[in-house]
Amino acid sequence: MFAARPMAKVNLTLEVGPLGDDGYHTLTSIFLRIGLADLIALKLTAGGAADRVVVSGLPGAPIEENIVLRALAALRERAGLPLPPVEIELEKRVPVAAGLGGGSSDAAAALKLAQACWGVGVAASDEMTLAARLGSDVPFFVADAEVALVEGRGEAVRPLRSVGGNAGLLLATAPTTLSTRAVFARHDALSEQGSRPEASLSEDLAIALESGLIGQELCGWAGRLRDANDLWPAAAELAPLLPALRDELEKRTGRPWLLSGSGPTLFALYPSAPDAAEAGRVLVDRRPASLDGALIHAVDLIGPDPIWRHP
* Catalytic residue set: 9, 137
- What's the chain's length in residues? 311
Residue of 205, 201, 229, 231 whose CA lies nearest to 218:
205
Task: Give the three-state DSSP class for 273.
Answer: helix
| CA–CA dist 206, 139 (Å, integer) | 18
- Give the E-state strand segments of 38-173 in sequence order: 39-44, 52-57, 86-92, 147-152, 156-159, 168-173
Q: Smaller CB distance to ligand C5P: residue 75 or 279?
A: 75
Applying CB under 6 A, the residues found at the interface with ligand C5P are 23-25, 27, 135-137, 153-154, 180-181, 184
Q: Smaller CB distance to ligand C5P: residue 13 or 272?
A: 13
Cα dihedral sign, 98-296-216-258: positive
Q: Smaller CB distance to ligand C5P: residue 19 or 117?
A: 19
> Which residue's beta carbon is nearest to the bound ligand C5P?
136
H or E, element range at 280:
helix 273-285
Q: Smaller CB distance to ligand C5P: residue 182 or 284?
A: 182
Kind of pairing, strands 7-19 and 25-37?
antiparallel
Give least dist CB 27 to ligand C5P, A: 5
Give least dist CB 182 to ligand C5P, A: 8
Residue of 67, 18, 25 whose CA lies nearest to 153:
25
Give least dist CB 127 to ligand C5P, A: 17
Tell me the residue type at 6: P
Q: Smaller CB distance to ligand C5P: residue 109 or 167?
A: 109
Give least dist CB 207 to ligand C5P, A: 23
H or E, element range at 2:
strand 2-4
Give least dist CB 101 to ligand C5P, A: 9
Q: Is the peptide bond before 95 cis (omega within 30 degrees of 0)?
A: no
